[in-house]
Amino acid sequence: MIKDLILIVDDDEGIREQLKWALSEDYEVLLAADSTEAKEKVSKKEPDLVLLDIGLSPSSGDEEGMELLKDMMKFDPKLKVIMITGKEGKELALKAIGLGAHDYFQKPIDFDELKVIIRRALYVQKLERENEALFHRLEEEKRFEDLIGSCPQMLEVYEIIERISATDATALIYGESGTGKELVARAIHYRSPRREKPFVTINCGAIPENLLESELFGHEKGSFTGAHAQRKGKFEIANGGTVFLDEIGELTPNLQVKLLRVLQEREIERVGGNVPIQLDVRVIAASNKNLEQEMEKGNFRQDLYYRLGVISVSLPPLRERGDDIILLAKSFLAHFSKDYGKKIRGFSPEAIRGMMEYRWPGNVRELENKVKRAIIMTDGNVIQAEDLDLKHKPRLGDLSLREAKEKVEEDFIREALAANRWNISKAAAELGISRPSLYDLMAKYGIEKRGKSHKGGRI
């Protein structure tokens, strides 16, 4: 049986030898007398656990032991480090745990008690490795295509996908920009009987109004200036399969009427044509707007809303998904590390804490881009908090009332811009202000149109 490998780091040769004698029957043991030797053995031998003396060097006090702990955690966040201290009080030990140490032990050493702590640490490590292996196995199986998450809201989404995939029911997917609405639509399509037929997506908010009808339904030769040949639209291309209409709330009233006819009659007419074309297409739509509110404003047809929303799916924003943030980050890390040919072990404790505290206005798409950037920018084999370029918000309790009001206003503006992909008109509408007012506020807070700030850094 292969023994677990333990590295003992202590400047006292007598303590090193005592620990080796006590542990060598159950474990393979390495010894190091200083930071340089310890770092070399951690990098070359990759021990499972380290016993580290906090007061590694009398001349440097506790600093050398703490710095070595930081370096080892940067090299391998999964490494279990048990700190040994000869001082009374728990302040140093708690500081060490805050830096990533698994546990601490106080001198004089009780070997029986120390062995219990070691066994417990290695058992936790074994569970973590099993969970990591399970995660990678589940990721490879891709039970729901590229959807990843285990929070209650996502489990509910998976259940809806399972239930509706075998049907031809239209579906309406709600969620902020970047939450993965297209991934849900693809999951529904590829788990349905239509999986061998086309999945065609069109962003209704990204195509000029005068071109969108032709994009959807096609056109006949000579039907308008520039129509030099007959052209099939997205619905014809998707015949037998699925059409995904993103940002459905951006459709004009005229196109809403024509889409309603498609859903009712199962036929289209190309622009400039007068011959109905029968189609067999499933329609899935998505919106980051509240379409019920849009109906009340007269911007969206009630009959179309009920035709589209036979089944509704609501995707939670990333900030409400708890540990899914780290699950997704690890998935992106594994994927992009391979793409860029880098061997990165994981995220530092500070990076994990930073990701959990960040608000993620751009949702999963923003997380993906942050992890990709970190992989490209980092020089080490562990992603640090600064690699992710997360800008944390101060606690409102640390600000004056005026500063707190301005901070909330600035955050609202930044999140609205990010959620609407820096479309000024859409962000202004979401905020309930005019475009000029939004430009004035952006100037006030140093927010540039493309997402950079005069205050430095990205948004």
Beta bridge partners of 81: 50
The DSSP secondary-structure symbol of 248 reads G
Could you tell me the residue ranges of all domains in the chain? 5-138, 152-314, 320-388, 396-444
Residue in 72, 5, 75 with CA at minimum distance from that of residue 83: 72
CA terminus-to-terminus distance, the chain: 52
Q: What average pLDDT does range 134-162 have in this prediction?
A: 75
Residues contacting 377, CB < 8 A, separation 6+: 387
CATH architecture of 152-314: 3-Layer(aba) Sandwich (3.40)
For the record, the structure tokens of 437 come out as 């007012």
108 upstream amide cis, omega within 30 of 0: yes
Residue-level pLDDT at 441: 87
Whether 324 contacts 318, CB under 8 Å: yes
Strands 282-287, 171-174: pairing kind: parallel
Q: pLDDT for 265-297, tens place per residue?
A: 999 888 888 888 999 999 999 999 889 999 999
Q: Does pLDDT of 411 surpass 80? A: no
The rounded distance, in Å, linking the Cα atoms of 135 and 326 is 12
Other Cβ atoms within 10 Å of 370 Cβ, number:
23
396-444 CATH choice from 1.10.1060, 3.40.50, 1.25.40, 1.10.10:
1.10.10
Structure-model confidence comparison of residues 71 and 401, the more confident one = 71
CA distances from 191 to 136, 141, 175, 185, 280 (A): 22, 14, 21, 10, 17
Domain 320-388 top-level CATH class: mainly alpha
For the record, the structure tokens of 351 come out as 């990076």
Q: Enumerate the H helices of 270-317 as residue ranges.
A: 291-296, 302-308
Q: pLDDT for 150-194, tens place per residue?
A: 888 998 999 999 999 999 999 999 999 899 999 999 999 999 999
Whether 235 contacts 217, CB under 8 Å: yes
Ranges 126-140, 237-251, 353-367: which has the least confidence: 126-140
Whether 246 contacts 286, CB under 8 Å: yes
- CATH number of this structure's domain 5-138: 3.40.50.2300
One-letter amino acid at 78 equals: K
Residue-level pLDDT at 233: 87
The rounded distance, in Å, linking the Cα atoms of 97 and 350 is 12
Which string of b and e fits 1-28 if b means at least 16 CB within 10 Å?
A: eeebbbbbbbbeeebbeebeebbeeebe
The rounded distance, in Å, linking the Cα atoms of 180 and 246 is 11
pLDDT band at 458 (very low <50, low <70, confident <90, very high): very low
Q: pLDDT for 230-246, tens place per residue?
A: 888 899 999 999 999 99
For the record, the structure tokens of 270 come out as 């190309």
One-letter amino acid at 294 equals: E
Domains 320-388 and 396-444 are alike in CATH topology: no
The rounded distance, in Å, linking the Cα atoms of 237 and 239 is 6
Whether 83 contacts 50, CB under 8 Å: no
CA distances from 73 to 9, 69, 121, 183, 328 (A): 15, 6, 15, 35, 21
pLDDT band at 450 (very low <50, low <70, confident <90, very high): very low
Residue-level pLDDT at 455: 34
Other Cβ atoms within 10 Å of 422 Cβ, number:
16
Residues contacting 294, CB < 8 A, separation 6+: 249, 300
Q: What average pLDDT does range 40-63 have in this prediction?
A: 85
The rounded distance, in Å, linking the Cα atoms of 202 and 217 is 12
Which string of b and e fits 432-443 if b means at least 16 CB within 10 Å?
A: eeeeeebeebbe
One-letter amino acid at 373 equals: R
